[in-house]
Homo-oligomer: A and B are copies of this chain.
């Protein structure tokens, strides 16, 4: 994630904390920074490791509570996958679709401007939308190939 985005999200978080009379602790900004330094999906452990590698130790409890805070502010989004909960920075990063293979569990990120356009235009009654996640489930080509092979065998 580029420097400008990191600066942006720091501002967003600071504004949120001020507005809600909550404290600007170093932990919160360090975790936010780490989240925006990770690439793609990551686990809580990976986040913790990243922080450690940069000489910042935070407790598990703080990690969880801060991630929850960042989720409130919509700066991070959790994805509940088969392998467990994965997180992802979502500021200026919400414009992709998650394509999930239900056989092998592989997740691929796909872009689709048409879908994004429709989602941006959609009007919702009594609701102020500010993010979305779209998961498309199906079977990836390699699993399809394997299944076809297996079926061929069992039918002969």
Q: Which residues of A contact B (CB under 8 A)?
A: 19, 21, 71-72, 74, 77-78, 80, 85, 99, 101-103, 108, 110, 112, 114-115, 118-119, 122, 124, 126-141, 144, 151, 154
Residue pair A135, B136 in contact (C-beta under 8 Å): no
Q: Can you give 6 A-B contacts (C-beta < 8 A)?
A: A115-B122, A118-B118, A127-B136, A130-B137, A132-B134, A132-B135
Measured CB to CB, the closest approach of chain B to A143, in angstroms, equals 9
Residue pair B135, A71 in contact (C-beta under 8 Å): no
A140→B72 CA distance, assembly (Å): 13
Measured CB to CB, the closest approach of chain B to A130, in angstroms, equals 5
Which chain B residues border A126 with CB–CB below 8 Å? 140-141
Residue pair B124, A114 in contact (C-beta under 8 Å): no
Contact A124:B102 (CB < 8 A) given known A132-B134, A139-B130: no
CB contact between A136 and one of B21, B85, B124 (< 8 Å): that residue: B124
Which chain B residues border A21 with CB–CB below 8 Å? 154
